[in-house]
C-alpha cells in the first residue's frame, strides 16, 4: 500500500477566505456530479492565490481511503467562486495499484519455461556485433573459438555483469560452502575452466556429487574436491577397535558340583546386603 498525498501545496499555505469558506459550494458540486456518497469535509489547501482544493471523504464501495477533491477558483479581489475541477484521488491510506511496469520488463530471471521464446531487447547493452564466418574452414575454426562467426557476442558490460552475479552467487568465494571447503575449485581435478576472458575466474564443475554443470568461481570449493582425503584407519580414534574375528581363550572357574544349601550365596551370586533389608 503506497502513501499518497493529494496536497499539491504546503498545508500551511494561506487560503483566501473566499475560497476557504466555500465548503458547501464544493460539496454541492459533488452532489450534482452524482457519482457516489460524499462524506465529511477533510480540509482545504491552497493551489495558488486564486485557487484552492477542498477534500471530502469518498464513500464508494472498493475505494477505501479515497477522497473527493474539488478545485475552486476566485479571481483576485472577487467574492465569486467557480468550480474548476472535480476528481477522485487516493488519500494517504488508500489502497492503490502498484506502479505500472511495461510488458517487456515483466519477465524476470527464472521465468523462462520450456518452449518460451525470449528475444533480447533492441540495443541490448549486453551484446555487441560479432563477425560473419569467412567460409575458410581453417580460419573459421579459429574464429569460432574466439567468438567470431557469431552474429553477436557479449559486450564487456555484459561480461562484467554476469561475472559479478556469479561471483556473488551460490557458487562464489563468499558462500558458506566455499568457506568450509578444504581447497578451491581452481586446484580441483573436476574444474573445467571457461574459455575467453572469464577463464581467469570461472569454470564449470564436472563432479556429479558436487556443483555438477554449474559455473563456479575459481575461489569456490567444496568437500568433494578431487584432493580430498579421508582420515586413515577405521572407527573413531577415541576408542580401541573391536575385532570380532579374534578369539580369546580363557579358563572357566571350577564349579562346585554339590548342591548348595538353600540361602547359601554362590560365587556367582553376591550375598544379600542385610542392612538394605533385601
Ligand atoms: S568438486 Fe567442488 S571443488 Fe571441485 S570443481 Fe566441483 S565444486 Fe569445485
In a domain, 273, yes or no: no
146 and 182 within one domain: no
Q: Rounded to an integer, what distance in angstroms lies between the CA atom of residue 100 and that of residue 95? A: 15
Mean pLDDT of 116-145: 68
166 and 129 within one domain: no
In a domain, 117, yes or no: no
In a domain, 74, yes or no: yes
178 and 131 within one domain: no
Is residue 112 pLDDT above 80, yes or no? no
161 and 140 within one domain: no
Q: Provide the grid cell at 234.
A: 577405521
168 and 126 within one domain: no
Total domains, the chain: 3
Is residue 258 pLDDT above 70, yes or no? no
86 and 29 within one domain: yes
203 lines ligand 1 (CB under 6 A): no
161 and 138 within one domain: no
CA angle, corner 97, sides to 92 and 100, nearest 5? 125
Domain residues for the domain of 73 are 17-90
Domain C-terminal end among 168, 183, 217 = 217
Mean pLDDT of 9-27: 84
In a domain, 100, yes or no: no
The 10s digit of each residue's pLDDT in 220-245 is: 999 889 888 776 665 555 666 666 77
Q: Provide the grid cell at 28.
A: 454541492
160 and 148 within one domain: no
CA distances (Å), 49 to each of 17, 20, 172, 228, in order? 11, 12, 61, 80
pLDDT at 167: 96
In a domain, 239, yes or no: no
Which of residues 188 and 137 earns the better pLDDT score? 188
202 lines ligand 1 (CB under 6 A): no
- Distance from Cα 201 to the centre of ligand 1, integer Å: 14
The cell 465548503 sits on which residue? 23
Are 126 and 165 within 8 A, CB to CB? no
Whose CA is closest to 90, among 112, 62, 123, 124? 62
- Distance from Cα 114 to the centre of ligand 1, integer Å: 28
Q: Provide the grid cell at 72.
A: 475552486
The cell 555487441 sits on which residue? 128
Pocket test for ligand 1, best of 172, 190, 206 (most atoms within 8 A of CB): 190
User: Which of ligand 1's atoms lies nearest the C-alpha of 184?
Assistant: 3
pLDDT at 131: 62
Domain C-terminal end among 182, 198, 217 = 217
80 and 21 within one domain: yes
Mean pLDDT of 141-147: 64
Are 227 and 244 within 8 A, CB to CB? no
In a domain, 80, yes or no: yes
Domain C-terminal end among 217, 233, 249 = 217
Q: How many residues does the chain have?
A: 278
pLDDT at 47: 94
In a domain, 129, yes or no: yes
pLDDT at 4: 36
Q: Provide the grid cell at 171.
A: 557458487
The cell 567470431 sits on which residue? 148
In a domain, 250, yes or no: no
Amino acid at each position: 500500500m503506497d502513501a499518497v498525498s493529494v496536497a499539491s501545496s504546503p498545508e500551511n499555505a494561506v487560503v483566501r477566505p473566499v475560497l476557504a469558506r466555500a465548503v458547501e459550494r464544493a460539496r454541492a458540486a459533488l452532489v450534482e456530479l452524482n457519482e457516489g456518497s460524499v462524506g465529511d469535509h477533510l480540509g482545504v489547501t491552497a493551489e495558488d492565490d486564486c485557487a484552492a482544493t477542498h477534500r471530502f471523504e469518498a464513500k464508494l464501495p472498493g475505494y477505501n481511503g479515497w477522497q473527493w477533491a474539488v478545485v475552486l477558483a476566485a479571481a483576485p479581489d472577487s467574492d465569486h467562486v467557480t468550480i474548476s475541477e472535480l476528481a477522485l484521488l487516493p488519500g494517504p491510506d488508500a489502497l492503490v495499484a502498484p506502479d505500472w511496469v511495461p510488458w517487456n520488463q515483466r519477465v524476470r530471471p527464472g521465468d523462462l519455461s520450456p518452449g518460451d521464446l525470449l528475444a533480447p531487447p533492441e540495443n541490448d547493452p549486453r551484446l555487441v556485433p560479432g563477425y560473419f564466418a569467412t567460409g575458410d574452414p581453417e580460419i573459421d575454426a579459429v574464429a569460432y573459438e574466439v567468438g567470431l562467426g557469431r552474429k553477436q557476442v557479449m559486450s564487456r558490460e555484459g561480461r562484467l555483469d554476469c561475472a559479478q552475479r556469479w561471483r556473488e552467487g551460490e557458487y562464489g568465494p563468499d558462500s558458506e560452502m566455499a568457506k568450509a571447503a578444504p581447497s578451491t575449485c581452481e586446484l580441483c581435478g573436476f574444474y573445467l575452466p571457461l574459455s575467453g576472458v572469464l577463464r581467469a575466474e570461472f569454470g564449470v564443475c564436472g563432479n556429479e556429487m558436487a556443483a555438477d554443470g554449474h559455473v563456479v568461481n575459481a575461489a569456490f570449493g567444496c568437500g568433494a574436491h578431487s584432493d580430498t582425503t579421508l582420515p586413515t584407519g577405521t572407527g573413531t580414534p577415541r576408542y580401541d577397535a573391536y575385532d570380532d574375528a579374534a578369539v580369546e581363550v580363557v579358563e572357566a572357574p571350577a564349579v562346585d558340583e554339590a548342591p548348595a544349601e538353600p540361602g547359601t550365596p554362590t560365587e556367582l551370586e553376591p550375598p544379600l546386603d542385610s542392612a538394605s533389608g533385601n
